[in-house]
Chains A and B, each alone.
Chain A
Amino acid sequence: MKSKFLFAASAALTLSFAGIAKAEPQAEVLHWWTSGGEAKSVAVLQQEFASRGGTWTDMPVAGGGGDAAMTALRARVLSGNAPTAVQLKGPAIQEWYEEGALSDISSVAEKNGWADVLPASIAGHMKCEGKWCAAPVNVHRIDWIWANASVLADNGIAMPTSWDEFNAAADKLMAKGITPLAHGGQAWQDATVFEAVALGIGGPEFFHKAFVELDQATLKSDTMVKVFDQMRKLRGYVDSNFSGRDWNLATAMVMNGEAAFQIMGDWAKGEFLAAGKRPGIDFLCASTPGEGFLYNVDSFAMFDVKGDDKQAGQMLLAELIVGQNFQKVFNMNKGSIPARVDVALDDFDTCAHISAQDMATSNAGGSLLPSYAHGMALRGAQSGAITDVVTAHFNSDMSSSEAVNMLAKSIANSL
């Protein structure tokens, strides 16, 4: 009797498992990783997905750091045909959640113990009102400064640890006819430099008050004026053709010795490595003068879709994204570091090691901050307003106090 019952029970269980397994995971993934290196990194995820029985439908839309993709996303959501997973980051995730477009992946997160392996501030971005709704892929560090090793050695300059040191080094280089700072005059690049300077001059608390809390008093403070002063100084250290230049052409300037420094996120490393340059030997990497760590976390948000196979696809995708293997392989190819803190970094290069160490220290010390320029700290309307002011100031002879006033006003206008 008992055995029959057991048999029936196990048969029922097996059938129900089979039933669950029958929902073949499907995922249509919207992202903008379309260049060679990035695409190969994403292909890793697709291969893992396929090896677990999933079908990945690729929906890549490049451009503008996601602008065109966001356009397509809106059209898809409005037409009731949302993609399964979308490359989103920062507050945009919560914004979409507020429109009711995201689904809940807490079950996967809890099963795989995400809360234990992700730093607190990063985990915070992946949650929508306490429920997990996105899976983090990597951690890009924004506040890096890159340098041509031989140019520095020939001129007896060390990597600057304060902005005054930077200015002194820059003056020395200008006298020798070398462009101190290679820069690409595009709004997002101006913003990248600006926030590195703001962090360095004002410190982590100032940064948080100004760019996360949007405190008007901080925005109008003397420290902010000093930040703009330094930006004005930097404007004098770039060459006259910087306007509109793509970031990788600025990196090329550093590579061939035309310029000494570039302030850019860690994807610049990919450009150096692709040209065969060696970290520590041909080029140097360090954090920009000042204390703190500005991060940009790419992630996939799971959208509310109908159908068991798509939902199964989301669960599987989320699990794989935060899995050890993908975290390691993707980030080795991309130049960033894993979001998971327990991934062994033996195969990563020196700059990645520095990054990981700094992330741990700043996480402990409370100076692990979201980048505003790359959409982590603020919603699009506010970060756009700040960038408008920064780029207008950089490209004109606006005074620092004017800029500060404009900054406070634009933020108020954008809320």
Chain B
Amino acid sequence: MTNFAHYSTTHVSVKNLVLRWLLYAVLALFAFYYMLPLFVMVTTSLKSLEEIRTGSLISLPRDVTFQAWATAWSSACSGIKCEGLRPYFWNSVIMAVPAVLISTFIGALNGYAVAQWRFRGANLLFALILFGCFIPFQVVLLPMARLLGQMGLAGSIPGLIMVHVIYGIGFTTLFFRNYYVTIPPELVKAAKIDGASFFRIFFSIFLPLSLPIIVVTIIWQFTQIWNDFLFGVSFSEAGTQPVTVALNNIVNSTTGVKEYNVDMAAAIIAASPTLLVYIVAGKYFIRGLTAGSVKG
């Protein structure tokens, strides 16, 4: 950590104190900006519909009720089924976990190949794979539907997994490549002299070094895949729909009565795995990036 405090002790401590306070004030101001929507969401989810209808939309609840949360989890209507978000959670899990793991693994191999095994055109190949990060999903929706149909994977979870892996490879390759580029090439040279093969070096040297960046990549991929709606709604059918589709059904009704408190509660519940991943792995996140992962 950049340690300036150590060298400032010679200066007048009042100036430091003021700067410190200023620092905390600025951080707090930004914290307010970031927390504001969450504040609105949480307070709304704790109000009754009556209060929402008659009161102001961004005030504290008069009477706190957790009814909306219970409804969102187990009895909100997402169609004829009024079972809340619960039934869809598992679909998202069995879709997201394999997709994240597979795309991470492929990204690791790719990044390793590009960063450590310099061959002609390596960077060009990297750039070509990277471009996949920029394609808007709406563009690929219809041709992908056609292809999935022809492959017999339409409406299935393996089909969805395949789609997410395909469009995740760009990012995972980016993250791993930037990480492996900082590892000195001497490691590979020495291992090659010892007679180790491409894969041997990968599995026994690089992979063990990669825990931080693996965690980073998993966090990014999990967030993107878990929160994806477009692919989820287009390539699933009744029974394989992920939780985002259910959330959308609960929240977005055009001519029906809107229950804002249930909507907010449902959104927070749907985001909870991702939030959990962020909070728990937050430490590893920084440590992961710290180990020179994103530095060229």
Contact = CB atoms under 8 A, between A and B. Distances in A.
A68 B245 CA distance: 10
Contacts of A75: 141-142, 144-145, 234-235
B233 to A, nearest CB: 5
A63 B248 contact: yes
B55 to A, nearest CB: 11
Contacts of B78: 34, 60, 62
Nearest to A80: B149
B155 A256 contact: no
Contacts of B237: 28, 59, 76, 81, 83
B294 interface: no
Contact of A61 (B249, B258, B259): B249
A65 B254 contact: yes
Interface of A: 28, 31-40, 42-43, 46, 56-66, 68, 71-72, 74-76, 78-81, 83, 246-248, 252, 255-256, 265, 267, 270-271, 274-275
Contact of A271 (B80, B241, B251, B257): B257
A57 B259 contact: no
B154 A35 contact: no
A15 B53 CA distance: 61
A270 B256 contact: yes
A255 B250 CA distance: 25
A63 B234 CA distance: 14
Contacts of B53: 252, 255-256, 275
Given A33-B256, A256-B54, A79 B145 contact: yes
Given A34-B77, A34-B79, A252-B53, A57 B249 contact: no
B196 to A, nearest CB: 45
Contact of A76 (B154, B239, B253, B254): B154
B146 to A, nearest CB: 5
A4 B154 CA distance: 52
B148 interface: yes
A256 B51 CA distance: 13
B233 A32 contact: no
25 contacts: A28-B237, A28-B238, A33-B79, A34-B256, A35-B77, A36-B257, A38-B256, A39-B79, A56-B80, A58-B81, A59-B241, A62-B254, A63-B249, A64-B254, A66-B254, A71-B234, A76-B154, A76-B155, A78-B142, A79-B145, A81-B154, A247-B255, A248-B257, A256-B53, A274-B257
A156 to B, nearest CB: 27
Contacts of B141: 71, 74-75
The 3 closest A-B pairs by CB, nearest first: A35-B256, A60-B79, A79-B149
Given A34-B77, A35-B258, A46-B80, 20 more contacts: A34-B78, A34-B256, A35-B256, A36-B256, A43-B80, A56-B80, A58-B80, A60-B79, A61-B249, A62-B250, A62-B252, A66-B254, A75-B141, A75-B142, A76-B154, A78-B145, A78-B146, A78-B149, A81-B155, A271-B257
A56 B234 CA distance: 20
A37 B155 CA distance: 28
Nearest to A60: B79
A39 B80 contact: yes
Given A68-B233, A78-B145, A78-B149, A62 B257 contact: no
A237 B257 CA distance: 25
A79 B155 contact: yes
A265 B54 CA distance: 23
B187 interface: no
B15 to A, nearest CB: 47
A55 B145 CA distance: 26
A39 B145 contact: no
Contact of B252 (A64, A81, A267): A64
Contacts of A66: 254
B79 A58 contact: yes
Interface string B151-163: 0001100000000
A355 to B, nearest CB: 16
Nearest to A247: B255
Contacts of B144: 75
B70 interface: no
Contacts of B251: 62
Contacts of A32: 253-254
